[in-house]
Amino acid sequence: YKNSKFWSADRITVDAKPQRLKEDYQNQLNRIWAWLESWPD
């Protein structure tokens, strides 16, 4: 049994070019940080 989240991540890794993957990862990090910082302290 394979977790669907990991499975889709594997497929994205296989299908995407490394540069594109790196950009997507960076965008995801930026979104997470922006979301965290939007929380009231």
At residue 8, does pLDDT exceed 90?
no
Domain of residue 28 covers 4-37
For residues 35 and 7, what is the distance between their CA atoms, to the nearest angstrom?
A: 25
Strand, coil or helix: 16: coil
Number of domains in the chain: 1
Determine the pLDDT at residue 19.
78
Structural Rg of the chain based on CA atoms? 14
What's the pTM value of the predicted model, to 2 decimals?
0.45
9: pLDDT strictly greater than 70: no
